Every structure is written in structure tokens, then in C-alpha cells.
């Protein structure tokens, strides 16, 4: 079994061995930029862990793991444009640094590169991998559109929100793990269980992201504090607060979430309501519930327990993170 540090090293080496074209420079420079501004590279590591879990050839999974990483960064580039975000990982976003049109084109090129990194797989595995990859890519787009829709919809249910983050965030974690399992010659049943592990871990991961957006340390956050509040995003914090609020509190919350302003008073008022209604504690409980559900699927996979240790450790790191 490989260590996390070794996985990071292998991914970095594979990126270095497969540099982007330098012509036109303005197309490829933003792609290099976003890959080198401090991302955790969780998703490609999950692909390698999926292969390693079944004692497969990790070397064979390296380029496919970059397909996952490239797709993720493509989605971040476009997501930042849609959110008009100025920071990503404490650095200027691609569209802020290189311009809007270049960011769109570079994001598109990153998506094409992602598919190219699956091309070395043998024919049957290539066919099944691209089918999984395309299904996931479309689901991420569906989740992104739901996220946009919910910005102007005041009444978003818990079920609506979980569906949205499952599509926007979680399916890519599930895909990363299942792709690795397929490369590692896992059974279809075990591959599906590993996908469900990733799906539920992804929900817990996004819920923790929602928590950190409001209650996280500015030192570790790496992006604008309370961006979700400024953008009127109906996260689980908002949904839980709306359910727990009395009429006066509900009226105040709806007022702020129908307001498009960068006034810091909005953040102070909404955060105060969240704390008063204890939604931060409720969210912490929910994060643990989805993490436990993820572990229940991992428990069902028929491999020695010691081979699952890194996945268990990683899930705890992800939900305990401060940024």
C-alpha cells in the first residue's frame, strides 16, 4: 500500500511528465496556474486509493486520476466565473488574473484534456470509464444549474439541497473512487459500494464546506468569508434556520436573502441568526451522520480491513478540516 505523501508525489510527477503545450501560451498558462495554486488533489488521490484498495496497478491509474483532477479544475474555473468569485485557494481566480474570455476557453480546454487522459486505457475499460465519466460530467452540470436556480428561490427544501450538492459535488468523488476500482479490477458490486462511499462522503464534505464558509477561520478559508450569504445561496444553514425560526426571525432572514448587497451588516445579521438558532450544531451532527453512512458502505467491501485504513483516515481528515 502507498502512503498519502507517495500518492501526492506520483500525481505531481505525472503532471510534470505531461506538460501542456506552450502555444498559444495564453490558453495553457491559466491551466498551469490553477493546477499549481495549492489544491489538495483529493479527487485524484481517491482514484489511486480506489485502485490500491483492490491491489491493482497504481501506475495504470495515474493518468486517469488526472482526468478527474482536470475535470474538477475545469468546473472550478467556470464556477468561479458564475459566482463572480475573486479568490480561489487564497489566490486570484483565473478570470480575475487572465480575463473572462481566456478563463472560459482555458476551462473548456481543461475538459478536453481530461478526456484525453483516459485514452491509454484498454478498449473495454476505456469504454466503461468514459461512460462513467460522461454521466458524472453531465450530473455536475445539472447540479450547478440547480445551484443557480436556488439563488433566486426562497423556499428550498432539505431534499432539494441534498440532491443539488450530490450532483454538483458528491458524484465526482464517487466517480473518482469507482474509476480507480474499475482500473483495479474490482467486482461491479464492490465498485458500486465504493461509489456510494464516495457519494455520502462527498455530501459530508460539502456540508462541512457550507459550515466553514460562515464559521471557518479566515486564516484557513482561502476564499471570501461568508460568500454563500453574500450570494444568497440556500445552504443547509439557511434551510435549517428557516425551519427553526419564529415569524420575526423568518422575516429577517428572508429580507436579507432577497437583498443583493455587499454590505457587511448582512453577514453579521445572518450569522447572528444562525448562531441563535443553533444551526451550526445541527449541521455538525448532519456531517457526522453522512460520514458514518459512507463508512457503512466501506464496511461492506470485501477486502482486508487494513486496506481500508487510508480511506477511513481520509474521511476523518476531510470532515475535521478547518479550511
Taking alpha carbons only, the member of 73, 86, 13, 87 closest to residue 41 is 73
pLDDT bin (cut points 50, 70, 90) of residue 321 is confident
CB half-sphere exposure, 193, CA atoms < 13 A: 17
pLDDT bin (cut points 50, 70, 90) of residue 29 is very high
Expressed in angstroms, the distance from the first to the final Cα of the chain is: 28
pLDDT at 5: 86
Query: For the chain, what is the domain count?
Result: 1
Q: How far is CA 180 from CA 44, 61, 81, in A?
A: 9, 6, 30
Report pLDDT digits (tens) over 129-179. 999 999 999 999 999 999 999 988 878 999 999 999 999 999 999 999 999
Percent of the chain with pLDDT over 90: 80
Q: Are 39 and 89 in contact (CB under 8 A)?
A: yes
Q: Report the CATH number at residue 264.
A: 1.10.600.10
pLDDT bin (cut points 50, 70, 90) of residue 263 is confident
Q: Provide the 3-class DSSP secondary structure of residue 92.
A: strand
For the cut 70, the answer to whether the pLDDT of residue 68 exceeds it is yes
Q: Are 89 and 37 in contact (CB under 8 A)?
A: yes
DSSP string, 290-309: HHHHHHHHHHTS-S-GGGGH
pLDDT at 260: 86
189 grid coordinates:
458490486
Helix 171-183 and helix 188-215, axial crossing angle in degrees, nearest 10: 150
Distance, CA of 28 to chain centre: 23
Residues in a beta bridge with 88: 91
CB proximity list for 5: less than 8 A, separation 6 or greater: none
pLDDT at 105: 97
pLDDT bin (cut points 50, 70, 90) of residue 75 is very high
Considering only 16-25, 145-154, 213-222, which range has the smallest mean pLDDT? 213-222
Structural domain boundaries, residue 70: 4-320
Residue 24, preceding bond cis, omega within 30 degrees? yes
For the cut 70, the answer to whether the pLDDT of residue 223 exceeds it is no
Share the mean pLDDT of the chain. Answer: 93
Q: If you average pLDDT over residues 20-45, what whole number do you get? A: 93
For the cut 90, the answer to whether the pLDDT of residue 286 exceeds it is yes
Question: Quick one: DSSP state of residue 169?
Answer: I
pLDDT bin (cut points 50, 70, 90) of residue 47 is very high
pLDDT at 128: 98
Residues in a beta bridge with 91: 88
Which contacts qualify for 230-235: CB closer than 8 Å, 24 or more apart? 230/262, 230/266, 230/267, 231/83, 231/151, 232/151, 232/152, 232/257, 232/258, 232/259, 232/260, 233/147, 233/150, 233/151, 234/150, 234/151, 234/153, 234/154, 234/156, 234/161, 235/161, 235/210
Question: pTM of whole model > 0.75?
Answer: yes
Amino acid at each position: 500500500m502507498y502512503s498519502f505523501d507517495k500518492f501526492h508525489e506520483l500525481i505531481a510527477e505525472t503532471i510534470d511528465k505531461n506538460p501542456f503545450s506552450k502555444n498559444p501560451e495564453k490558453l495553457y498558462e491559466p491551466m498551469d496556474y490553477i493546477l499549481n495554486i495549492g489544491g489538495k488533489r483529493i479527487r485524484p488521490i481517491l482514484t489511486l486509493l480506489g485502485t490500491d484498495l483492490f491491489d491493482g496497478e497504481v501506475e495504470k491509474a495515474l493518468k486517469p486520476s488526472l482526468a478527474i483532477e482536470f475535470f474538477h479544475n475545469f468546473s472550478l474555473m467556470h464556477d468561479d466565473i458564475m459566482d463572480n468569485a475573486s479568490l480561489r485557494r487564497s489566490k486570484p481566480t483565473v478570470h480575475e488574473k487572465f480575463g473572462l474570455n481566456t478563463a472560459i476557453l482555458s476551462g473548456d480546454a481543461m475538459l478536453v484534456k481530461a478526456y484525453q487522459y483516459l485514452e491509454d486505457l484498454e478498449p473495454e475499460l476505456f469504454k466503461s470509464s468514459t461512460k462513467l465519466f460522461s454521466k458524472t460530467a453531465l450530473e455536475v452540470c445539472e447540479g450547478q444549474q440547480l445551484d443557480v436556480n436556488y439563488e433566486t428561490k426562497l423556499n428550498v427544501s432539505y431534499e432539494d439541497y441534498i440532491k443539488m450538492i450530490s450532483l454538483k459535488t458528491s458524484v465526482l468523488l464517487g466517480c473518482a473512487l469507482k474509476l480507480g476500482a474499475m482500473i483495479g479490477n474490482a467486482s461491479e458490486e464492490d465498485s458500486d459500494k465504493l461509489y456510494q462511499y464516495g457519494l455520502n462522503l462527498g455530501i459530508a464534505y460539502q456540508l462541512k464546506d457550507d459550515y466553514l464558509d460562515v464559521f471557518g477561520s479566515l486564516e484557513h478559508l482561502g476564499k471570501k468569508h461568508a460568500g454563500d450569504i453574500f450570494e444568497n445561496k440556500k445552504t443547509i444553514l439557511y434551510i435549517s434556520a428557516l425551519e427553526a425560526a419564529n415569524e420575526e426571525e423568518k422575516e429577517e432572514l428572508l429580507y436579507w436573502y432577497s437583498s443583493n448587497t455587499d454590505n457587511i451588516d448582512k453577514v453579521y445579521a445572518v450569522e447572528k441568526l444562525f448562531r441563535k438558532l443553533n444551526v451550526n450544531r445541527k449541521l455538525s451532527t448532519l456531517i457526522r451522520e453522512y460520514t458514518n453512512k459512507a463508512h457503512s458502505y466501506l464496511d461492506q467491501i470485501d477486502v482486508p480491513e487494513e486496506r481500508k485504513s487510508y480511506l477511513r483516515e481520509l474521511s476523518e481528515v476531510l470532515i475535521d478540516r478547518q479550511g
